[in-house]
Amino acid sequence: MDSPNLPSSTQPPAPFQGHRGPPLRPGGTPLIRPPLLRPRKVRGGVKVPSGEVGAGKAAWAAQRWLRLAEAAAPGVAMVEGLEYARLGQTRRMNVLPSKVEAGVQGRSDRAYVTTITLPILTTEQWDQVVLAMSEGAIYAAKLLAGELPPNIEDVFVPLGHKLFPTETAELGVSCTCGAGPGVWCKHVCCVAYLVAHRLASEPFLMFSMRGLEGSELIERLRQRRTIAGAVGGSTPVYVQRIPGLSDGQTHPLEESLAQFWESGPSLTDLDLPLAPPQVSHPLLRRLGTSPFQTAAFPLVGLLASCYEVISEAALRTGESGGASPEPVEGASDEADSDGEPHGEPKTEEFPEGDDEA
């Protein structure tokens, strides 16, 4: 038989769950701790070493990232964030696709969860980027060598993409310290400094933040370059064709070992006309823009001028039937008595014991 409901005053008390508020004094009054003047120390935290932030082989990548943070964060927050980064107040930091998440220890008992987010590129967009990189010899060479060229954005911009964010609106920040969403507090600035420090030594980190691991990028780039080489390469800027040689039938090396060093009777029939290339400066066009963006003079323009001078001299020599080109103005008009070429200094030999030149 069920027992009747008891009045509320006779209900058994709920089990004691313990005190959930601030610590209590012996008399039962709350114990209020004064706020800490310094953040709680962290042992073995992630830190930025003393010295210039972002010093490394890819310092330009770190500075590009920091300029964006400086444009978004107040100056006081950047100063305090740098202090937190140097003290090692970050207990952990994980760099994931589209997000950097860290635990930054402040004055509270627990570390604040701080995140910086940015959009990633889709699979189709990365396919476009990798294809463009594989077709640019200078980009492919540097990336396969583990270097990130400063003009890497020249690959992304024509496709409508970007590797490094250029506007603060592209980054989303949050922190559990109570600063509010979108506010660059000192904890967010601390994480930004840590990311910049890693970018200086790990420039491929930005690829991971955009959704493609650096190792995967290198592997895909190497595969495309291998396939392109197997089928004759990607679309070249200029392919030289030599009549009588390019049209000839070739044989495998194994079948030609016995006659490898023989020229054959057709060598005299080989036609090697000297003429300007169909495309000006084909080698420079294939290499692309100069990697020395801060040089005092344009390297590509200097090389182009050198190539033009050498080509004109070769054409003049060919038109004269193999004779030497006309001497440079100011050189001697008479040949040396022993037949040495014009303009070259003659070396005189002195008898032994003669000390005068």
> Which ranges in 88-185 belong to alpha helices (H)?
123-135, 137-144, 153-156
The whole-number pLDDT of residue 20 equals 57
Percent of the chain with pLDDT strictly greater than 70: 64
Q: What is the pLDDT of residues 295-314, one digit of tens each?
A: 676 777 788 888 888 888 88
The whole-number pLDDT of residue 345 equals 41
pLDDT band at 39 (very low <50, low <70, confident <90, very high): confident
Phi, psi of 219 (to 5 degrees): -65, -45
Q: How far apart are CA 309 and CA 84, in angstroms?
A: 59
**Is 33's pLDDT higher than 70?**
no
Least confident window among 9-13, 94-98, 257-261: 9-13
Least confident window among 35-39, 69-73, 87-91, 107-111: 35-39
Q: What is the pLDDT of residues 116-167, one digit of tens each?
A: 999 999 999 999 999 888 888 788 888 888 888 888 999 999 999 999 998 9
Q: How far apart are CA 247 and CA 242, in angstroms?
A: 8
Q: How far apart are CA 297 and CA 252, in angstroms?
A: 47
Average pLDDT for residues 70-98, to the nearest whole number?
93
The whole-number pLDDT of residue 281 equals 74
Q: How far apart are CA 195 and CA 182, in angstroms?
A: 18
> 311-314 long-range CB contacts below 8 Å, 24 or more apart?
311/276, 314/274
The whole-number pLDDT of residue 172 equals 94
- The b/e string for 28-54 (b: 16+ C-beta within 10 A; e otherwise) is eeeeeeeeeeebeebeebbbbeeeebb
The separation between the first and the last C-alpha atoms of the chain, rounded to the nearest angstrom, is 136
Identity of the highest mean pLDDT range in 33-42, 62-71, 220-229: 62-71
Q: Which of 239, 251, 242 is nearest to 270 (CA)?
A: 242
| Cβ atoms of 285 and 238 closer than 8 Å | yes
Q: Is 256 exposed, middle or buried (0-12, 13-18, 19+ CB in 10 A)?
A: exposed
Of 152 and 57, the structure prediction assigns the larger pLDDT to: 152
Identity of the highest mean pLDDT range in 37-41, 112-116, 132-136, 180-184: 112-116
The whole-number pLDDT of residue 142 equals 85
**Is 225's pLDDT higher than 80?**
no
